[in-house]
Every structure is written in C-alpha cells, then in structure tokens.
Amino acid sequence: MAARKPKVIVTRKLPDPVETRMRELFDTQLNVTDTPMSKAELAEAINRADVLAPTITDRIDARMIERAGPQLKLIANFGAGIDHIDVDAANARGITVTNTPGVLTEDTADLTLALIMAVARRIVEGANVAQAGEFMGWAPTWMMGRRITGKRLGIIGMGRIGQAVARRAKAFGLQIHYHNRKPVSSRIAEELEATYWESLDQMIARMDIVSVHSPHTPATYHLLSARRLKLLQPHAFLINTARGEIVDEGALADLLKAGAIGGAGLDVFEFEPKINPKLLGLPNVVLLPHLGSATVEGRIDMGEKVIINIRTWMDGHKPPDRVIPSMM
C-alpha cells in the first residue's frame, strides 16, 4: 500500500507548474481564487494541514500557532522573508519552518538597479509626460536628472542581495560602500572594491545613494529613523527593496515633500499594501507594488524550493532551508 500523502494547504495561488507538481506529490489544497485567507480561514487551515505553505501575506503569530493541529509539523514558506512567522513559537510546538533563500537574489538586485536608474534619471516622470501626450520637444534644461557614474552607493546589509547589487553597481561605475554586522571577506571586498563602515550614521551622511538590503527583525525596525534620514545629503537618493518596516516611512515622506533629500525608490512599504498617502503624487519618488521577486523564473524557483523542503521532510530528513529559531 502506498504511503499516505501529507495534507499540504497552499494559502495563495502559485505558478501553474508549481501547483501541478504539488498536486502530483502531495494531497494539496490550492487557493484557486488567490484571495488572501482571513484569520479564521488561516486558523482552520493550520488546524487541518500536515504542511502549511504560506506567503508573506499570512501572519502566523504565536496565537495562530497555538491553534495548530497536532499533525502540523512543517510550515514551508513561499518566500525568503520570515518576519510574518513566529519561528520561536513554531519551534516550541515542534513545527519546522523553512523558506526559499537564494533564488530571488538576482531578480531583487536587478530591480534595485532599475530603481536607482529610474530615480536618478526621472524615468517615470518622463514616461508619464510622454504617455499623457504632453511632450513639447527637447530643451537643454528640462527634465534633468543625475548621472550615477562616479557616485557613492551605500549598501545597508551586505548579504547575497547586497553583494549582487554591488556587482551590478560597480559595472555602472558606482563606488561601493557598505554597512553590515561585520565586514565581508577580504576576497569579496577586493573584488567589489568595497569600503566598510562600522558606523551607519557616518556612512549614510556621505553617500549619494543609499540602498537597503537588511532583513526585517526587531533590531532593524526603523533602522532608518527620522534622525538617521536627516543625515542624508540634500541630493541623495534612498532605495528600499528589502522591507518597508526598516524605514520610518512618515519621516521619509516629509523629507521628500520638503525637498530635503533628492528622491526615493520604494518597492516595499511600512504598512503594506497600504502606502502612506503623503508619498502619493510626489514627483521625486518612484513607487512599485512589491515587484522584487516578480519574475516567472524566480517564482517557479521559489516553488521548487518549497517542494524540495516538503519532500526532504517527508523522507525524515532536515529540510535544506530550515530556519533556525532565535532561541537556538
């Protein structure tokens, strides 16, 4: 007799190849409407599933985990970020949490460079003028942006994505600076010709562009506070493709509106999906709807990692992308 397939509940619609393979391998319940689950629906799912496959739109806190059925042994997150899951509470219940690191590195780095270019060269402003039929012809001093070659880029968080951004930025002639918990290896620093700053305050006060690539943790909440944002130079740009909670969004909006900093490119927001209304309509900010990982290839790769984590767990082994609780 064939072994029982685990009950896997997927909370959002995933790419068709991923869903098809999950149906082949597991007793999978899909979310065909792609409507985010309510708290009640998520509680019901976590009570029935052997494996829950959530996304960043699902908040799985300690209270939610308390409602989990005894059979739930794995939360296989579709995404690299796990700040929406109480990993410590899951571990206390004997529930393993996995994520999908690595596969989004290149996509997020590409989007970061796109935002740098869009903000510096006022691409969205220009596109809106052309689309509205308001282009009146070339003029020597109209719609002037900033050259990025030769500028200083300060990267906050020099992990996989930060390093991928640095490699792209170096090819564009940017000078690489970074702040991290510790310096990268001498090999990487030499390759990127990167300057390490132990003091975040000292770094951001000297940069032309600052790009955020830290995870969201209690320690990084409002890492770019109102005080720190005021250290940015008047011509500087801020780029955030990490997590919205890292930046004091209200303070940033006030500085942008006052022209106290040059501009910003944001793919993530503090109260996502809500966007601070003070940001809307500002000419010096480019707003994107969380597109960092939104490539066909990236999303399929994420799904394949979810499948590998589930199958490894089924075989009685530790999944390769197991998230280690902070208490350990």
Q: How do residues 145-196 score in pLDDT, each as one tens digit? A: 999 999 999 999 999 999 999 999 999 999 999 999 999 999 999 999 999 9
Selected from 3.40.50.1000, 3.40.50.720, 3.40.50.10680, 3.30.9.10, the CATH number assigned to the domain covering 105-287 reads: 3.40.50.720
Return the pLDDT at 1.
Answer: 39
The domains of the chain are located at 7-101+296-314, 105-287
Rounded to 5 degrees, φ, ψ at 196 are: -90, 135
Same-fold call for 7-101+296-314 versus 105-287:
yes
Per-residue pLDDT tens over the stretch 109-119: 999 999 999 99
Residue 297 annotated to the active site: no
Return the pLDDT at 2.
Answer: 54
The tokens describing 52, both together, are 């829950």
The active-site residue, picked from 44, 106, 272, 304, is 272
Instruction: Quote the crossing angle between the two packed helices 105-120 and 296-314, to the nearest 10°.
Output: 150
Q: What is the DSSP string of 86-126?
A: -HHHHHHTT-EEE---STTHHHHHHHHHHHHHHHHTTHHHH
The pTM assigned to this predicted structure is 0.89
- Nearest CA among 110, 102, 64, 96 for reference residue 81: 102
Strands, DSSP E only, in the chain? 7-10, 27-29, 51-53, 74-76, 96-98, 152-156, 175-179, 195-196, 209-212, 237-240, 263-266, 285-287
The tokens describing 74, both together, are 């794995």
The tokens describing 256, both together, are 């942008």
The active-site residue, picked from 12, 122, 243, 299, is 243
Return the pLDDT at 105.
Answer: 94
- Looking at domain 7-101+296-314, its CATH class is alpha beta
Return the pLDDT at 211.
Answer: 98
CA atoms within 13 A on the CB side of 258: 11
Residue 235 annotated to the active site: no
Return the pLDDT at 55.
Answer: 96
Q: What contacts 76, CB < 8 A, 6 or more positions away?
A: 8, 51, 52, 53, 98, 306, 309, 310, 313, 319
Q: Describe the strand order of the beta sheet including 51-53 as a list of residue ranges.
A: 27-29, 7-10, 51-53, 74-76, 96-98
Residue 290 annotated to the active site: yes
d(CA 86, CA 90): 6
By percentage, how much of the chain surpasses pLDDT 90? 94
Q: Describe the strand order of the beta sheet including 237-240 as a list of residue ranges.
A: 195-196, 175-179, 152-156, 209-212, 237-240, 263-266, 285-287
The tokens describing 158, both together, are 């020099």
Token match 């869903």: residue? 19
pLDDT lower than 50: segments of the chain = 1, 327-328
Residues 141/194, Cβ–Cβ less than 8 Å: no
Return the pLDDT at 328.
Answer: 35
The active-site residue, picked from 23, 146, 290, 311, is 290
**Separation in Å, CA 217 to CA 34, 61, 74, 222, 226:** 28, 14, 22, 10, 18
Indicate the DSSP class of residue 277.
T
CA dihedral 275, 278, 279, 281 (to 10 degrees): 110
